[in-house]
Structure 1
């Protein structure tokens, strides 16, 4: 049951389709007549037939009216804009319902241009963002902003969309407009929204500064403005500017804890940890600011200064024993340190806390599972009725069923969950297929992956799972093809790179090619024991025994995995270190007596 430091740190962090009819009442009867005839003929005659390759709007409407008999409409007669807008909305709705968000965005945008109604422009923006079409997103969000100039949400959306599209000149214009639209009391918060967007989208230093600095210059007397600039500068590692901005914010608002914590964060991110703590210490010295001390602990956790974070968290709990966030973080840190008993104490103390009870129950389930108390684990998982780990708790219950020999029941349970929760369909299918793989049913798993790929083409998790099924079935070329497809989709997919290198190492003699893939994965995940193990194993195949032993020892120190133990023992055996090899194998075998790779290695090598 690995509880990673990444997990510890991560744990610390109405739609309208109505179309309002307005305008000259004398035109309304004719427009309503047109709309009614559209509704009567459109769905059976046009939408069911498909509209993805529909002709231009005028041609579509002409065809529509001809299908209705042409009564009251001449081909040369101009059609009311509102009637055309309604047509586009209907097309967009149907496209959205069949999952074609790009077509939905295009249709809603066409309707918005005709109707000039903010609600339609907002929908166009929403669908454009969902389609990941940057040009369409910018156009739609600009139209929403122009059709509703007093709507702050529209102004903010236009800015966010421009940033996402990397249209930074437009983004600066939109940011100015967004901030200017705020009442004076809300300007500081608006500047923080701008900064948060630049940080969240990880905008590079030059464009980020080009957007943020003019806004701050226009509000030089605002502590919030300098704080926002400090956030952005810290994100792009402009350390001097970030610290100076935090200090300026503190000067403009003495005693403001957020500004002080920002300065501390700048120092801690530069590994000047003790200096960072010293900056915050005056605020927490009297023991009356547990929330500020907790914020400092979070900064230390992010910097991987776990010993110092532990000290701060223990101090928070000494000052305020019922501080739930600090207790939760302390429980996670105890798990990270392998102190399961202490972690259990902290999570048990949270089980009645409204905000933490579900997460606490999940980790109590994991602790019980690690101890082999599966009945207790099931009980805790049943209590996870919400929170960030709800889906994980549901799937852990399925794994426990399968581990107890009830694979069919686990599958039925997962399929029932999928029917009740369509949004979890892919996740639950992956779990079901993984259970089949672990139960030595690769043919059934392969069929399930094929089913998933028919519905979710080129989904990386499905391709990866299918490659494992292919490998178990001995179809190595097919497995390699799936992994190559993953790498073609994302050249920085460390999981695919590592798996591709590992399968080439085990099933071919293309060791240099394999090493190249694993090296790329290792550059992306330098501390991942699985990747380190792969590199050690390919070095062994290349005959580099010293390098292999060093890598495999490092991997095994990070993760006591039986397959890593099998690899390390084999390298040590070939180096003549046979007593150490037997010791490594014996320890692993006592914990994993039925592990296939470990048993095969020992049978092959030990007389």
Structure 2
């Protein structure tokens, strides 16, 4: 659905100030600039035209559409894939994420909960449910779902990152940093986790440290893009209020 607070910033992609699990396809698209994303969208669209009921093709197309900000179209694609695969948990999870991205939060919550099965719970669905609950302002319930996900998948960096960003939405950057520091130390932590950590450090006024974090292990072009994004976020006087507003609490 819903992705981490930032993508690979500075590539002119749509801004998504919310938590959320990061599907593999999105992680690969996250490193593309807008021109590359447009090419990927065209290619994925042609594949979808050839195989409109194919699960992997449709999910891939919906992912790139969301990365280019076409959330309504992504939802329409996932609706068709869900009709063709009504009992597939991966499809239902992706459908729920597309609903959330399109602003249909209550519907997304229902879809994700329907995909979950108590006898074989899926940690990804718990994390996705938590992300929607966070966007609905139900932070305590959201964190409970993230912790259920971590019980099934200990130390998963995407879940730890989501849990950390949940505290950002509640105006608690210190607690958020604890979880994000843990997330970035895990194998498999990607650039979004690092960007979230940089943002949280910057929100606490440690700007030089935030910039060092933002550019680690990146090419010069990516580093400059991330710095541009980070500086833009931190220079917005209302950025903290935007984050806090998600939880209906005053900025602190």
The within-5 A match list for 1:178-577 is 403=37, 405=39, 407-416=41-50, 418=51, 425-488=54-117, 492-505=121-134, 507-542=135-170, 545-558=173-186, 559=188, 561-577=190-206
| Structure 2 equivalent of residue 320 of structure 1 | none
| TM-score normalised by L of structure 1 | 0.29
Deviation at 1:474, TM superposition (A): 2.0
Deviation at 1:555, TM superposition (A): 1.4
- C-alpha spacing 1:449/1:545, structure 2 compared with 1 (3 Å): closer
How many pairs are equivalent? 200
Task: Write the distance in 2 (CA, Å) between the matches of 1:574 and 1:415.
Answer: 44
Deviation at 1:445, TM superposition (A): 2.0
Higher mean C-alpha deviation, range 430-439 or range 448-457:
430-439
| TM-score normalised by L of structure 2 | 0.65
* Aligned partners of 1:486 and 1:493 also within 8 Å: no
Q: Please list every run of 5 or more consecutive structure 2 residues that lacks an aligned counterpart in the other structure.
A: 1-27, 237-252
Q: Please list every run of 5 or more consecutive structure 1 residues that lacks an aligned counterpart in the other structure.
A: 1-395
Between 1 and 2, higher relative CO (CA 8 Å, sep ≥ 6) is seen in 2
* Aligned partners of 1:549 and 1:568 also within 8 Å: yes
Instruction: Please state whether the residue corresponding to 2:39 is helix, strand or coil.
Output: coil
Task: Write the distance in 1 (CA, Å) between the matches of 2:189 and 2:120.
Answer: 29
* Aligned partners of 1:569 and 1:582 also within 8 Å: yes
- Decide which structure has greater helix share: 1
Deviation at 1:428, TM superposition (A): 2.6
Deviation at 1:481, TM superposition (A): 2.1
Q: What are the Cα deviations for residues 28-86 of structure 1, in whole angstroms up to 9, with x where unaligned?
A: xxxxxxxxxxxxxxxxxxxxxxxxxxxxxxxxxxxxxxxxxxxxxxxxxxxxxxxxxxx
Task: Write the distance in 2 (CA, Å) between the matches of 1:593 and 1:412.
Answer: 33
Task: Write the distance in 1 (CA, Å) between the matches of 2:211 and 2:43.
Answer: 40
What is the CA RMSD across the aligned residues, in angstroms?
3.4
Task: Write the distance in 1 (CA, Å) between the matches of 2:234 and 2:47.
Answer: 43
Q: What are the Cα deviations for residues 178-231 of structure 1, in whole angstroms up to 9, with x where unaligned?
A: xxxxxxxxxxxxxxxxxxxxxxxxxxxxxxxxxxxxxxxxxxxxxxxxxxxxxx
Deviation at 1:404, TM superposition (A): 6.2
Task: Write the distance in 2 (CA, Å) between the matches of 1:498 and 1:578.
Answer: 30
Q: What are the Cα deviations for residues 113-169 of structure 1, in whole angstroms up to 9, with x where unaligned?
A: xxxxxxxxxxxxxxxxxxxxxxxxxxxxxxxxxxxxxxxxxxxxxxxxxxxxxxxxx
- C-alpha spacing 1:561/1:414, structure 2 compared with 1 (3 Å): same
